[in-house]
Amino acid sequence: MSASPLRLCAQHECEKNPSLIKESGASPTLREEEKLSPASIATAANSNNHTLLINVGLQPWRALRRVRMIAVLALPLLVFVAACTGTNEDELVVFAAASLTDVLTELGEQYGAETRTSVIFSFGGSQLLSRQIVDGAPADLMISAGRQPIDLLEREQVVEAGPFDLVSNELVVVTRSGFSDPPGEVADLASESIKNLSIPDPNLAPAGAYARESLTSLGLWEALADKIVPTGDVRASLTNAERGNTDAAIVYRTDAVSGSDLQILDIIPPDSHSPIVYPVVVTTRTKRPEAARRFAEFLVGEAAGKIFARYGFTPLFNKQVGQ
Protein backbone atom coordinates (compact mmCIF):
# COMPACT_ATOMS: atom_id res chain seq x y z
CA MET A 1 0.00 0.00 0.00
CA SER A 2 1.43 3.36 -0.99
CA ALA A 3 1.75 6.17 1.51
CA SER A 4 -0.99 8.76 1.72
CA PRO A 5 -0.05 12.17 0.25
CA LEU A 6 -1.11 13.65 3.57
CA ARG A 7 1.52 11.59 5.35
CA LEU A 8 4.19 13.40 3.34
CA CYS A 9 2.98 16.64 4.94
CA ALA A 10 3.24 15.32 8.51
CA GLN A 11 6.22 14.71 10.73
CA HIS A 12 7.06 11.07 11.27
CA GLU A 13 6.81 11.19 15.04
CA CYS A 14 3.28 9.76 14.97
CA GLU A 15 4.57 6.66 13.17
CA LYS A 16 6.99 6.06 16.01
CA ASN A 17 4.30 6.69 18.62
CA PRO A 18 0.98 5.02 17.71
CA SER A 19 -0.60 6.35 20.90
CA LEU A 20 -0.93 9.68 19.14
CA ILE A 21 -4.03 8.43 17.35
CA LYS A 22 -5.75 7.05 20.44
CA GLU A 23 -8.60 9.06 21.86
CA SER A 24 -8.85 10.17 25.44
CA GLY A 25 -11.99 11.09 27.30
CA ALA A 26 -10.37 13.95 29.21
CA SER A 27 -10.97 17.59 28.43
CA PRO A 28 -8.03 19.90 27.68
CA THR A 29 -7.46 23.42 28.80
CA LEU A 30 -7.15 26.13 26.20
CA ARG A 31 -3.44 26.22 26.91
CA GLU A 32 -3.17 22.57 25.90
CA GLU A 33 -5.14 23.24 22.74
CA GLU A 34 -2.67 25.91 21.75
CA LYS A 35 0.03 23.23 21.52
CA LEU A 36 -1.25 21.95 18.19
CA SER A 37 1.53 20.72 15.99
CA PRO A 38 1.96 18.58 12.89
CA ALA A 39 3.45 15.94 15.15
CA SER A 40 -0.09 15.31 16.40
CA ILE A 41 -1.17 14.06 12.98
CA ALA A 42 -1.41 10.43 11.97
CA THR A 43 -2.79 9.10 8.72
CA ALA A 44 -4.29 5.79 7.78
CA ALA A 45 -5.02 4.93 4.18
CA ASN A 46 -6.53 2.20 2.12
CA SER A 47 -6.75 1.74 -1.61
CA ASN A 48 -9.80 3.99 -1.99
CA ASN A 49 -9.58 6.79 0.54
CA HIS A 50 -7.52 8.61 3.13
CA THR A 51 -8.43 9.37 6.71
CA LEU A 52 -6.60 11.91 8.83
CA LEU A 53 -6.88 11.15 12.54
CA ILE A 54 -6.01 13.95 14.89
CA ASN A 55 -5.25 13.87 18.59
CA VAL A 56 -4.16 16.97 20.45
CA GLY A 57 -2.92 16.50 24.00
CA LEU A 58 -5.90 15.09 25.88
CA GLN A 59 -8.49 16.40 23.40
CA PRO A 60 -10.41 13.65 21.57
CA TRP A 61 -10.58 15.69 18.40
CA ARG A 62 -12.96 14.37 15.77
CA ALA A 63 -11.18 13.98 12.47
CA LEU A 64 -12.28 16.40 9.80
CA ARG A 65 -14.10 14.29 7.24
CA ARG A 66 -14.18 15.01 3.59
CA VAL A 67 -16.60 13.07 1.45
CA ARG A 68 -14.05 10.35 0.74
CA MET A 69 -12.82 11.15 4.24
CA ILE A 70 -10.01 13.67 4.23
CA ALA A 71 -9.83 15.23 7.65
CA VAL A 72 -8.38 18.48 8.95
CA LEU A 73 -8.91 20.22 12.25
CA ALA A 74 -7.97 23.44 14.06
CA LEU A 75 -6.62 26.54 12.40
CA PRO A 76 -2.89 25.64 12.46
CA LEU A 77 -3.63 22.23 10.93
CA LEU A 78 -6.04 23.63 8.35
CA VAL A 79 -3.36 26.04 7.21
CA PHE A 80 -0.70 23.33 7.32
CA VAL A 81 -2.66 20.83 5.22
CA ALA A 82 -3.87 23.52 2.83
CA ALA A 83 -0.26 24.43 2.16
CA CYS A 84 0.38 20.83 1.14
CA THR A 85 -2.77 20.19 -0.90
CA GLY A 86 -3.73 23.59 -2.25
CA THR A 87 -7.25 24.99 -2.49
CA ASN A 88 -10.15 23.93 -4.64
CA GLU A 89 -13.08 26.04 -5.81
CA ASP A 90 -15.28 22.94 -5.64
CA GLU A 91 -14.64 22.39 -1.93
CA LEU A 92 -16.49 23.66 1.13
CA VAL A 93 -15.17 23.57 4.70
CA VAL A 94 -17.88 23.07 7.32
CA PHE A 95 -17.23 23.25 11.07
CA ALA A 96 -19.88 21.19 12.87
CA ALA A 97 -20.83 19.82 16.28
CA ALA A 98 -19.46 16.35 17.03
CA SER A 99 -23.01 15.04 17.54
CA LEU A 100 -23.67 15.62 13.83
CA THR A 101 -20.81 13.42 12.65
CA ASP A 102 -22.79 10.50 11.28
CA VAL A 103 -25.67 12.37 9.68
CA LEU A 104 -23.53 15.09 8.09
CA THR A 105 -21.11 12.52 6.71
CA GLU A 106 -24.01 10.89 4.85
CA LEU A 107 -25.43 14.24 3.75
CA GLY A 108 -22.02 15.39 2.55
CA GLU A 109 -21.61 12.26 0.47
CA GLN A 110 -25.04 12.77 -1.09
CA TYR A 111 -24.40 16.44 -1.81
CA GLY A 112 -21.04 15.64 -3.35
CA ALA A 113 -22.57 13.03 -5.62
CA GLU A 114 -25.28 15.46 -6.76
CA THR A 115 -23.13 18.57 -7.24
CA ARG A 116 -19.53 17.34 -7.57
CA THR A 117 -18.66 19.62 -4.63
CA SER A 118 -16.43 18.10 -1.95
CA VAL A 119 -17.48 18.91 1.60
CA ILE A 120 -14.77 18.89 4.25
CA PHE A 121 -16.14 18.56 7.80
CA SER A 122 -14.40 19.55 11.04
CA PHE A 123 -16.26 17.87 13.89
CA GLY A 124 -15.68 18.88 17.49
CA GLY A 125 -16.94 20.88 20.45
CA SER A 126 -18.99 23.79 19.11
CA GLN A 127 -17.58 26.39 21.51
CA LEU A 128 -14.04 25.58 20.51
CA LEU A 129 -14.85 25.53 16.80
CA SER A 130 -16.49 28.95 16.99
CA ARG A 131 -13.41 30.36 18.72
CA GLN A 132 -11.24 28.98 15.92
CA ILE A 133 -13.42 30.72 13.33
CA VAL A 134 -13.14 33.98 15.26
CA ASP A 135 -9.37 33.47 15.25
CA GLY A 136 -9.39 33.16 11.46
CA ALA A 137 -10.06 29.50 10.64
CA PRO A 138 -11.29 29.36 6.99
CA ALA A 139 -14.68 27.75 7.60
CA ASP A 140 -17.33 28.41 4.96
CA LEU A 141 -20.17 27.37 7.28
CA MET A 142 -20.67 26.40 10.90
CA ILE A 143 -23.37 24.16 12.33
CA SER A 144 -23.46 24.42 16.11
CA ALA A 145 -25.12 22.35 18.82
CA GLY A 146 -26.69 25.34 20.52
CA ARG A 147 -26.94 29.08 19.97
CA GLN A 148 -24.15 30.25 22.28
CA PRO A 149 -21.28 29.48 19.86
CA ILE A 150 -23.22 31.26 17.10
CA ASP A 151 -23.78 34.23 19.43
CA LEU A 152 -19.99 34.52 19.66
CA LEU A 153 -19.67 34.60 15.87
CA GLU A 154 -22.35 37.28 15.65
CA ARG A 155 -20.68 39.42 18.32
CA GLU A 156 -17.40 39.17 16.43
CA GLN A 157 -19.19 40.01 13.15
CA VAL A 158 -18.14 36.91 11.26
CA VAL A 159 -21.65 35.80 10.18
CA GLU A 160 -22.44 36.33 6.51
CA ALA A 161 -25.91 34.72 6.52
CA GLY A 162 -28.11 33.14 9.17
CA PRO A 163 -28.48 31.74 11.72
CA PHE A 164 -31.08 29.24 10.54
CA ASP A 165 -32.26 26.54 12.96
CA LEU A 166 -31.85 23.12 11.32
CA VAL A 167 -32.84 20.44 13.85
CA SER A 168 -33.43 19.76 17.54
CA ASN A 169 -32.26 17.01 19.92
CA GLU A 170 -32.75 15.66 23.46
CA LEU A 171 -30.55 14.76 26.43
CA VAL A 172 -30.49 11.23 27.85
CA VAL A 173 -28.45 9.29 30.40
CA VAL A 174 -26.56 6.18 29.21
CA THR A 175 -24.95 3.32 31.12
CA ARG A 176 -23.40 0.05 29.99
CA SER A 177 -25.94 -2.64 29.14
CA GLY A 178 -24.76 -4.83 32.00
CA PHE A 179 -24.73 -2.10 34.63
CA SER A 180 -26.36 -3.63 37.71
CA ASP A 181 -28.09 -0.60 39.20
CA PRO A 182 -29.03 1.93 36.51
CA PRO A 183 -30.64 5.16 37.73
CA GLY A 184 -34.43 5.13 37.59
CA GLU A 185 -34.64 8.91 37.74
CA VAL A 186 -32.16 11.71 37.30
CA ALA A 187 -31.78 12.20 41.09
CA ASP A 188 -30.34 8.66 41.27
CA LEU A 189 -27.18 9.94 39.60
CA ALA A 190 -26.24 11.15 43.09
CA SER A 191 -26.58 7.64 44.55
CA GLU A 192 -23.62 5.51 45.61
CA SER A 193 -24.16 3.14 42.69
CA ILE A 194 -22.98 5.87 40.29
CA LYS A 195 -19.32 6.49 41.08
CA ASN A 196 -18.67 8.85 38.14
CA LEU A 197 -20.57 10.64 35.41
CA SER A 198 -19.16 11.79 32.08
CA ILE A 199 -20.46 14.95 30.42
CA PRO A 200 -18.94 17.20 27.75
CA ASP A 201 -17.10 20.15 29.24
CA PRO A 202 -19.72 22.94 29.44
CA ASN A 203 -17.07 25.45 28.37
CA LEU A 204 -16.29 23.52 25.18
CA ALA A 205 -19.49 21.85 24.03
CA PRO A 206 -23.16 22.91 24.24
CA ALA A 207 -24.17 19.38 25.27
CA GLY A 208 -22.26 19.96 28.49
CA ALA A 209 -23.83 23.39 28.93
CA TYR A 210 -27.30 21.86 28.52
CA ALA A 211 -26.39 19.10 30.99
CA ARG A 212 -25.12 21.64 33.55
CA GLU A 213 -28.25 23.78 33.07
CA SER A 214 -30.48 20.75 33.64
CA LEU A 215 -28.62 19.47 36.70
CA THR A 216 -28.51 22.98 38.18
CA SER A 217 -32.23 23.52 37.71
CA LEU A 218 -32.88 20.15 39.37
CA GLY A 219 -30.62 21.01 42.33
CA LEU A 220 -28.09 18.29 41.49
CA TRP A 221 -25.10 20.13 40.03
CA GLU A 222 -23.22 20.68 43.30
CA ALA A 223 -24.10 17.21 44.59
CA LEU A 224 -22.57 15.65 41.45
CA ALA A 225 -19.54 17.95 41.16
CA ASP A 226 -17.06 15.38 42.50
CA LYS A 227 -18.37 12.66 40.18
CA ILE A 228 -18.26 14.57 36.91
CA VAL A 229 -15.64 13.59 34.32
CA PRO A 230 -15.58 16.30 31.61
CA THR A 231 -14.67 15.56 28.00
CA GLY A 232 -14.00 17.58 24.88
CA ASP A 233 -17.24 16.67 23.13
CA VAL A 234 -20.34 14.50 23.38
CA ARG A 235 -18.84 11.57 21.47
CA ALA A 236 -16.02 11.30 23.99
CA SER A 237 -18.54 11.14 26.85
CA LEU A 238 -20.43 8.42 25.00
CA THR A 239 -17.20 6.48 24.56
CA ASN A 240 -16.47 6.72 28.29
CA ALA A 241 -19.78 5.01 29.05
CA GLU A 242 -19.35 2.40 26.30
CA ARG A 243 -15.89 1.41 27.55
CA GLY A 244 -16.84 1.46 31.22
CA ASN A 245 -14.50 4.34 31.98
CA THR A 246 -17.47 5.96 33.76
CA ASP A 247 -20.64 4.44 35.18
CA ALA A 248 -22.87 6.82 33.26
CA ALA A 249 -22.83 9.71 30.81
CA ILE A 250 -25.18 12.46 29.71
CA VAL A 251 -25.31 12.68 25.92
CA TYR A 252 -27.67 13.54 23.09
CA ARG A 253 -30.25 10.92 22.19
CA THR A 254 -28.95 10.79 18.61
CA ASP A 255 -25.48 9.85 19.85
CA ALA A 256 -26.85 7.32 22.31
CA VAL A 257 -28.69 5.37 19.60
CA SER A 258 -25.46 5.18 17.60
CA GLY A 259 -23.57 3.61 20.51
CA SER A 260 -23.12 -0.06 21.31
CA ASP A 261 -23.98 -2.12 24.43
CA LEU A 262 -25.70 0.80 26.13
CA GLN A 263 -28.84 1.32 28.17
CA ILE A 264 -30.58 4.55 27.16
CA LEU A 265 -32.39 6.12 30.10
CA ASP A 266 -34.95 8.79 29.26
CA ILE A 267 -34.88 10.42 32.70
CA ILE A 268 -33.85 14.04 32.03
CA PRO A 269 -36.90 16.35 32.02
CA PRO A 270 -36.93 18.35 28.75
CA ASP A 271 -38.14 21.44 30.61
CA SER A 272 -35.06 21.40 32.87
CA HIS A 273 -32.92 23.00 30.16
CA SER A 274 -33.18 25.29 27.15
CA PRO A 275 -34.40 23.82 23.84
CA ILE A 276 -31.58 22.02 22.05
CA VAL A 277 -31.27 23.45 18.56
CA TYR A 278 -28.63 23.27 15.83
CA PRO A 279 -28.22 26.60 13.98
CA VAL A 280 -26.26 26.93 10.73
CA VAL A 281 -24.50 30.07 9.53
CA VAL A 282 -22.48 31.06 6.49
CA THR A 283 -19.34 32.81 7.77
CA THR A 284 -17.54 35.86 6.48
CA ARG A 285 -14.43 33.67 6.15
CA THR A 286 -15.88 32.01 3.06
CA LYS A 287 -14.47 32.80 -0.35
CA ARG A 288 -17.41 30.88 -1.89
CA PRO A 289 -20.51 32.56 -0.40
CA GLU A 290 -22.90 31.36 -3.11
CA ALA A 291 -21.66 27.78 -2.88
CA ALA A 292 -21.95 27.98 0.91
CA ARG A 293 -25.54 29.22 0.63
CA ARG A 294 -26.42 26.42 -1.77
CA PHE A 295 -25.18 23.83 0.72
CA ALA A 296 -27.20 25.52 3.49
CA GLU A 297 -30.26 25.40 1.22
CA PHE A 298 -29.62 21.70 0.66
CA LEU A 299 -29.52 21.12 4.43
CA VAL A 300 -32.94 22.72 4.94
CA GLY A 301 -34.46 20.80 2.03
CA GLU A 302 -36.96 17.97 2.23
CA ALA A 303 -34.48 15.24 1.27
CA ALA A 304 -32.02 16.29 3.98
CA GLY A 305 -34.88 16.52 6.48
CA LYS A 306 -35.72 12.85 5.94
CA ILE A 307 -32.09 11.88 6.59
CA PHE A 308 -31.91 14.03 9.73
CA ALA A 309 -35.10 12.35 10.98
CA ARG A 310 -33.69 8.88 10.30
CA TYR A 311 -30.80 9.70 12.65
CA GLY A 312 -33.23 10.81 15.36
CA PHE A 313 -33.15 14.59 14.88
CA THR A 314 -36.31 16.69 14.59
CA PRO A 315 -36.18 19.04 11.57
CA LEU A 316 -36.92 22.70 12.36
CA PHE A 317 -36.87 24.14 8.87
CA ASN A 318 -39.04 27.16 9.63
CA LYS A 319 -36.87 29.73 7.82
CA GLN A 320 -35.62 30.03 4.26
CA VAL A 321 -31.95 30.61 3.63
CA GLY A 322 -31.34 34.17 2.47
CA GLN A 323 -34.37 35.78 4.11
Give the Cα separation of 99 and 233 in Å (integer): 8
Give the Cα separation of 134 and 131 in Å (integer): 5
Q: Is residue 2 part of a domain?
A: no
pLDDT at position 68, please? 33
Q: Is residue 323 part of a domain?
A: no
Both 23 and 160 in one domain: the answer is yes
Both 66 and 44 in one domain: the answer is yes
Q: Is residue 322 part of a domain?
A: no
Both 54 and 147 in one domain: the answer is yes
Does position 110 have pLDDT exceeding 60, yes or no?
yes
- Strand 228-231, strand 197-200: pairing: parallel
Domain count across the chain: 2
Q: Which CATH number do you get for residue 261?
A: 3.40.190.10
pLDDT at position 41, please? 25
Per-residue pLDDT band at 11 (split at 50, 70, 90)? very low
Q: Is residue 252 part of a domain?
A: yes
Question: Of 231, 249, 267, at which residue does a domain stop?
Answer: 267
- Strand 171-176, strand 197-200: pairing: unpaired
Mean pLDDT for all residues in the chain: 78
Give the Cα separation of 22 and 315 in Å (integer): 34
Both 232 and 83 in one domain: the answer is no
Both 19 and 139 in one domain: the answer is yes
Both 111 and 18 in one domain: the answer is yes
Per-residue pLDDT band at 317 (split at 50, 70, 90)? confident
Both 206 and 282 in one domain: the answer is no
Q: Is residue 114 part of a domain?
A: yes
CB 152 within 8 A of CB 163: no
Both 199 and 286 in one domain: the answer is no
Q: What is the pTM of this model?
A: 0.68
Per-residue pLDDT band at 235 (split at 50, 70, 90)? very high
Which residues are CB-contacts of 35 (< 8 A; sequence separation ≥ 6)?
Answer: 56, 57
pLDDT at position 161, please? 94
Length in residues, the chain: 323
Both 234 and 290 in one domain: the answer is no
Give 112-133 as a 3 state SS string: HHHHCCEEEEEEECHHHHHHHH
Q: Is residue 136 part of a domain?
A: yes
Both 309 and 256 in one domain: the answer is no
SS3 (DSSP) at 245: coil
Hey, what amino acid is at 26? A
Q: Residue 105 sits in which domain range?
A: 7-169+277-315
pLDDT at position 318, please? 52
Both 92 and 184 in one domain: the answer is no
Q: Is residue 140 part of a domain?
A: yes
Which segment of 51-65, 176-190, 249-263, 300-314 scores lowest on mean pLDDT?
51-65
Does position 79 have pLDDT exceeding 80, yes or no?
no
Q: Is residue 320 part of a domain?
A: no
Hey, what amino acid is at 175? T
Both 163 and 29 in one domain: the answer is yes
